[in-house]
Structure 1
């Protein structure tokens, strides 16, 4: 408690980031109440936005139109519309407070729960979409570009990455071609196909604005994804649709939008999506490793505040790393000897600058296998061995 009071005195606009836990307590309460960071909208000003001579402008326009048209023609047949609904009886069971209203509707009526997009991975009907579109649904309809409606069976979903997979009973379906999301460079073309606002097979074009956006930057700190940022227009209903490169290869799955951002969208890298979909199709679920700690970045401002308090100078001496605010009781971190006030400086031989660095190393680790963690505690570096556990789920998620 004394540490909690002291840190409250010196905190300067830091962000609380939960690493594989989502559980909070008194030690980090102040930091969770601080202002969340904001992504500045990407500027549309670039050399390409300056007036061009008419002949050159027409040439660029024709060239751009050719490759965009070719990419869309190649992929759009494999992009589907996903509609998730829930039966009245099930809705009443989940929320008895709405019974008076729902009782007025026919018992066979379906309530719309989510609407989005998806794309076909295999000719025999394997489809990927986002988890938040279909979560809680009792029925999922998949509409092909041809207009044919198929019933989608939910094979599995993963909330931590917002990925879900469906299976439809069909053969010889058109499929997408997957690209390489590891070699993306800001400034490359980005083409989005989806069903925004229920408008089927809508195409928008922009560029890759950035890569490696952390989940906290995107506004979804509970997710375990480093996102692709793009300025290709996305709206409600685009979620689950593919993000393409200039060759028409899928490099990402559109998923997250910040409510306060204009012209900024985010996509899950296709390498991440493939890793998760493979597990979901194989077992119906994904187990994520976790430590059970809450951290904040050890920024220069925070370090300066600590240096001004003589009672903390000897406690937090590291110059960089992730400051542990809380350790979940009975968690792998607690069993491995991590303490509140520790600064994590290295995980699996990788230097740590931010909590996101820790999260990436934990996600890449194996459940039950020893993970080496170095912490700075009261001026001394300590080497710990932690065995990540399975990220805990609620009863509703089992």
Structure 2
């Protein structure tokens, strides 16, 4: 083969050629350009040669228009989707690396890379129960000092709101080392627990991400030790970012889960759910029996709040108002107004369909069908906003503004009590 011509880059014509042809056909375009320049300097050449050259240039144009775009740009210079698995295109150096088109883009190595970041910190947790059997679960080292995040139901039993260790805890790392574990904290309601192990050397750990940024359809990776099989990795997408516990039959204080279609089995509980950046965005807690493709995780933002409660006072402090609440939207408001013409003229707020007798809300003067539009001086449109405003302020008076039938505005003061564990 002849060596490819060197481009000086000084010619305006050459720059136009670079702009007009993709890299794959640039060599052909330069050859045509140089041949055309040679013919123009030799007027005695036949017209047939020029016609033949123009045919070659036309063929080059057809080649450029029919060739598939490169891995990262389309024919118009915009990012394009990557080729599907099974493509017959020869591998390139770019194929060996992650996608270069931006953060969050899925390439063939994205899932493997995310898993490799977290895998060393994923552990197997086993519980010896007086020689009568062993409970199996998973966990994640979240601090090099040996702090492990796992599910409360893996390591503890609960009675009258108090946690009791199930038995002796043994933690096995991916490198085969075994450690005796100690249950430091466990919260029944959130199903979050902290186990501690002692090591003479720093341990591999994983970092927290932000579950609030998750969207339905985002790729996630679940890791754990299901059925005692260490280093098991499954992948899927987020199906719902805020699946309410009431939708799953859980009563009491509201809980929310991340729903995914990752394969989760017995022993996955406590393992991490991570995004493509290798950050923990959830803790796997359960799957729905006889319902393939449904698994759930506690959002890592909630886990972080629980851990902050552990750090401050050794337990989780949850304010309780004794109000059943419902987020309002335009459709619900329209239906309620059809049923009751005196329903308040509101565009947003939180409906209180029921007040528990004798509760803090009842003593404060809340009534069924009140619409809360302000809480502690802040406008509210969702239950989560009210929960966030309360935080851990048990026994602290909080002002609420409610709207009642006939558009009557009422100011109330409620003093939350500590919720009882159930």
Alignment TM-score, normalising by the size of structure 2? 0.65
Equivalent residue for 1:390?
418
Measured against aligned partners, the alpha-carbon deviations of 1:336-361 in whole angstroms (never above 9, x if no partner) come to: 221234333443423335xx446634
Please point out which of 131, 134, 146 is paired with 2:152.
131
Pick closer, same or farther for the CA change 1:140–1:377 going to 2, 3 Å: same
Mapping 1:1-398, distance limit 5 Å = 54-55=87-88, 64-87=107-130, 109-112=131-134, 114-136=135-157, 137-171=166-200, 172-222=202-252, 224-259=254-289, 261-296=291-326, 304=335, 307-308=338-339, 314=342, 316-317=343-344, 321-348=349-376, 349-352=378-381, 356-357=383-384, 360-361=387-388, 364=391, 366-379=393-406, 380-393=408-421
Instruction: Select the structure with the greater relative contact order (CA < 8 A; seq sep ≥ 6).
Output: 1
CA distance in 2, matches of 1:284, 1:317: 43
Pick closer, same or farther for the CA change 1:290–1:121 going to 2, 3 Å: same
CA distance in 1, matches of 2:253, 2:297: 12
Unaligned runs of 5+ in 2: 1-80, 99-106, 158-165
CA distance in 1, matches of 2:419, 2:137: 27
Measured against aligned partners, the alpha-carbon deviations of 1:267-321 in whole angstroms (never above 9, x if no partner) come to: 222222122123324533111111112345668579757855xxx655x546665
Post-superposition offset of 1:218: 4.5
Give the secondary-structure state (helix, strand or coil) at the position aligned to 1:335.
helix
Post-superposition offset of 1:228: 2.4
Post-superposition offset of 1:207: 2.4
Q: Contact 1:290 / 1:362 at 8 angstroms: preserved in 2?
A: no
Give the secondary-structure state (helix, strand or coil) at the position aligned to 1:366.
coil
Unaligned runs of 5+ in 1: 1-47, 88-108
Give the secondary-structure state (helix, strand or coil) at the position aligned to 2:287.
coil
Pick closer, same or farther for the CA change 1:346–1:259 going to 2, 3 Å: farther
Give the secondary-structure state (helix, strand or coil) at the position aligned to 2:139.
strand
Moved more, 293-302 or 126-135: 293-302
Measured against aligned partners, the alpha-carbon deviations of 1:20-79 in whole angstroms (never above 9, x if no partner) come to: xxxxxxxxxxxxxxxxxxxxxxxxxxxx9x977623698899764533333322221111
Q: Contact 1:291 / 1:362 at 8 angstroms: preserved in 2?
A: no
Q: Contact 1:218 / 1:257 at 8 angstroms: preserved in 2?
A: no
Larger Rg: 2
Pick closer, same or farther for the CA change 1:327–1:262 going to 2, 3 Å: same
**Residue-pair matches, total:** 320
Post-superposition offset of 1:120: 0.6
Q: Contact 1:160 / 1:222 at 8 angstroms: preserved in 2?
A: no
Alignment TM-score, normalising by the size of structure 1? 0.69
Over aligned residue pairs, what C-alpha RMSD do you find?
3.4
Q: Contact 2:309 / 2:317 at 8 angstroms: preserved in 1?
A: no
Give the secondary-structure state (helix, strand or coil) at the position aligned to 2:129.
strand
CA distance in 1, matches of 2:234, 2:390: 32
Pick closer, same or farther for the CA change 1:123–1:262 going to 2, 3 Å: same
Post-superposition offset of 1:256: 3.5
CA distance in 2, matches of 1:221, 1:235: 24
CA distance in 2, matches of 1:362, 1:258: 32
CA distance in 2, matches of 1:280, 1:392: 17
Post-superposition offset of 1:365: 5.8
Moved more, 297-306 or 329-338: 297-306
CA distance in 1, matches of 2:90, 2:240: 26
Pick closer, same or farther for the CA change 1:361–1:81 going to 2, 3 Å: same
Equivalent residue for 2:24?
none
Pick closer, same or farther for the CA change 1:212–1:135 going to 2, 3 Å: same
Pick closer, same or farther for the CA change 1:246–1:298 going to 2, 3 Å: closer
Measured against aligned partners, the alpha-carbon deviations of 1:50-109 in whole angstroms (never above 9, x if no partner) come to: 97762369889976453333332222111111223434xxxxxxxxxxxxxxxxxxxxx2
Pick closer, same or farther for the CA change 1:189–1:306 going to 2, 3 Å: closer
